[in-house]
Structure 1
Amino acid sequence: MFSDADAAALYDVLNPWDPDRRADDGFYFPLVMGSESVLDVGCGTGAMLSLARERGHRGRLVGLDPDRAALDRARRRAEVEWVEGTAAEARSGAGFDLATMTGHAFQDLVTDQVVRDSLAAIHGTLRRGGRFVFETRHPQARAWEEWTASNPDDVVEVVDEAGRALRYWHDVDSVADDVVTIRGTVARLDGTVLRVFRESLRFLDVAALNGFLLEAGFEIEEQYGTWNREPITASSREIITVARRG
């Protein structure tokens, strides 16, 4: 068996959170450390907020995620508030200085209504002038075309916490308008499949994304195409957004 707890542990192996070595983590971490109160929406196993606390953050840190197994793992780390729920269930009136959605979690908001409900809720959690910072893959880069077992860069071999040698890869099931549905497969090295994860991701372009943000009451403060804060161009793979509650 490959349990939900195994899946949460594997996520940390596949996605080690390290602001000293990873450009994306290094982008977010100073924002977190410089904010008195932070809500991490889609916090997963809680690596970012836990490290912030370890490195001396003394303010309020709250992680929100609907994945119970991931939160169970996060809750092993003390002095951070962990809340089970979706982005749309974020509690209004908390007055956070900063809300984040890292790891392309924003793309899990697939329908127009879910995007609207989630942005409205996140807006409501922020104090006036508070910022919402997140990223989404730019559709022009067509990242999903690289998610296949035939691409050696998409096949990862790791040893998990239980000492199992595993292989992980993706396959694309469908592309419908701006929604891509994928499978992530965990298998033993002999090919025995242990778990298949299915996920739908939405690829909004800049105009559509900004339309949703403005409708929710956000002001778009900055947008970048790279983690080095370079502008969005015709070759950008990311849309990195800093939005402010007006």
Structure 2
Amino acid sequence: MYSDADAAALYDVLYPWNPETRAANRFYFDLVMAADSVLDVGCGTGAMLHRARDQGHQGRLVGLDPDRPSLDRARRRTGVEWIEGTAADAPSGADFALATMTGHAFQCLVTDHEVRSSLAAIHGALRPGGRFAFETRHPQARAWEKWNPANISDTVDASGRALRIWHQVESVVHDVVTFTETTAEPNGPVLRVDRAHLRFLAPDSLDAFLHEAGFEIETRLGAWDNTPVTPTSTEIITIATRN
């Protein structure tokens, strides 16, 4: 079997966090380094905050995530506060200058209640004028159509174990996509199957939730090269400001 701890370690192999080579990482890293206090919602294994502290960030850095194995990896780095919890558990009145939600984590908020309660908590964790930066996949790009067994990824995890990973969409109901991720040995047994749900909010629906929660849109981009949202954009990249 492939344990939850193994899966958390594999995430760092599949999605290495490097602002020098990945435009999305650079976008967030610049914001983090310019802010005197940062809450990273859905911080995962903590790579972004690790990097910020290693690069000399002197302010308060807090990572929030519900996945304990990921937080166990994050906690290998001292000098950062790590909190186990969902976005709705963001600390009220914490006076953060910046909150981030990277890696399309916002799409894990599937129900209206989850979106509203999460945005309300993030709003409450920011100081007046504080910024919330995040991205979601634009539904017009229909990214889920590429999540099928024909697109197999072969990799080697941190322990040197060869792995084969693929995805399979189970359903698309309104704006929620349900799919599985299968991890197996190449030409061998299946090690684990993880099931997930992601919500693909359109820009107008997303903005309605943000305005309801007390945010104003400061920046809206459709790609990591700083281009605006267009009819062919694959991303909805947002910086929203707390009123």
TM-score range, shorter chain: over 0.9
Which residue does the alignment assign to 2:64? 64
- Structure 1 segment 209-224 matched on structure 2, within 5 A: 209-224=206-221
Tell me which of 213, 236, 243 is aligned to 2:240.
243
Task: Give the aligned partner of residue 80 of structure 1.
Answer: 80
TM-score, length-scaled by structure 1: 0.98
Query: What letter is aligned with 2:4?
Result: D
Aligned to 2:20: 20
Cα deviation digits, residues 121-165 of structure 1 (max 9, x gap)? 0000000000000000000000000011113xxx22111122210
Q: Structure 1 stretches (4+) deviating beyond 6 angstroms?
A: none
Q: Which residue of 2 aligns with 1:129?
A: 129
Give the aligned partner of residue 225 of structure 2.
228
Say which SS state the counterpart of residue 38 (structure 1) adopts: strand
Q: Which amino acid aligns with 2:174?
A: D
Counterpart residue identity of residue 23, structure 1: A
2-structure distance, mates of 1:198, 1:156: 17
Is 1:53 the equivalent of 2:53?
Answer: yes
After TM superposition, the structure 1 stretch with the greater mean CA deviation from structure 2, 160-169 or 15-24, is 160-169
Rounded to whole Å, the distance in 1 between the matches of 2:50 and 2:166 is: 28
Shift of the alpha carbon at 1:54?
A: 0.4
Task: Report what 1:33 is aligned to.
Answer: 33
Instruction: Report the TM-score when normalising by structure 2.
Output: 0.99
Cα distance per residue 1:35-58 (max 9 Å; x no partner): 000000000000000000001001
Letter of the structure 2 residue corresponding to residue 168 of structure 1: I
Output the amino acid matched with 2:182: T
SS in 2 for 1:57: coil
Amino acid at match of 1:50: H
Q: CA RMSD in A?
A: 0.6
Show CA shifts across 1:78-117 (max 9, x none). Answer: 1110000000011110000000000000000000011000
Q: Choose from 188, 192, 198 the match for 2:185.
A: 188
Q: Secondary structure at the match of 2:91?
A: coil
What is the percent sequence identity of the aligned residues? 67
Inter-partner Cα distance in structure 1 for 2:126 and 2:12: 28
Counterpart CA distance in 1 for 2:17 and 2:100 is 15
| Structure 1: gaps (5+ residues) | none
Which amino acid in 2 is paired with 1:79?
G
Q: How far is 1:228 from its partner?
A: 1.4
Query: Aligned match of 2:154 in 157, 163, 169?
Result: 157
The separation in 2 between residues aligned to 1:191 and 1:116, in whole angstroms, is 43
Residue 205 of structure 2 aligns with an amino acid whose one-letter code is A
Shift of the alpha carbon at 1:191? 3.2
CA separation in 2, counterparts of 1:36 and 1:228? 25
- Give the AA of the match of 2:198: L
Structure 2: 5+ residue stretches without partners: none
Secondary structure of 2:241's match? strand
